[in-house]
Amino acid sequence: MAWWKAWSEEEGKPVIGVYSNFDPAPDAQTLYKAMKGLGTDEQAIIEVLTKRSNKQRQEIAKSFKAQFGKDLIDSLRSELSGNFERLIVALMYPPYKYEAKELYDAMKGVGTSEDVIIEILASRTKAQIKEIIKAYKEEYGSDLEQDIASETSGYFKQILVCLLQGERDNASLYVDTALARQDAEALFSAGEKIRGTDEIQFITILCKRSATHLLKVFEEYQKLAGKSIEDSIKSETKGSLEDAMLAIVRCTRNIRQYFAERLYHALK
């Protein structure tokens, strides 16, 4: 099964399997005891929260509030610190709310964390982006597209806005080879074939075509240009625009490998 088909079928399923014989009440009690008094039993927190699905963790949070009158995330924040705190708190957010939070945090204050924005928007399906936009509006009362447009500029802004508009075609087993060849020719004509670069052409094709279609485009482009689309992007663009385009290509080729590489570099 191709990665894109597996990814599509897995959308919305928990990454951590559902814990059998689940009861949120004793889990909430375990967490309360782990944080009660002097010191914190980090291992107990790890045992509970890393072995439950996200949906189960939400039920634990509700039970914690009902039993002890405290917000579980607030309690975890007060007891933990550093990267461990960030990781555990991240586990407690529903996925789309967490991604909305990361985007908000990436834009607030001085400067913008462009890597975070690229990673989220380049790797999500249009259905997932729609849910992130909804969660962002609910949490912060603001329009995500408008906020990103105000925090970025130039072609980088255009590629992010294009991704946010969710116009990417759905993945399909059928690929129009003639159209893929036409897109490959358009990309070649927008870059390697001319002096300068037609960035809009690159943005339009990379942001609007389906993953399955783009894979064929990349194959046809290699034949036409004698080099990979990645190499052409590196020679034709730079900075955040280059990073965003390369992220889209890498996620299209193999999204699991993309995140494995991101994790590897984050740990170096």
Residue range 62-85, pLDDT digits in tens: 999 999 999 999 999 999 999 999
Domains of the chain: 24-92 (1.10.220.10), 95-151 (1.10.220.10), 177-267 (1.10.220.10)
Residue 17 confidence (pLDDT): 64
> If DSSP codes are grouped into helix, strand and coil, which group holds residue 82?
helix
Percent of the chain scoring above 90 in pLDDT: 81
pTM metric for this prediction: 0.86
Angle, CA of 128, 208 and 170, to the nearest 5°: 55
Phi, psi of 191, deg, nearest 5: -135, -85
Arithmetic mean of pLDDT, 27-46:
95
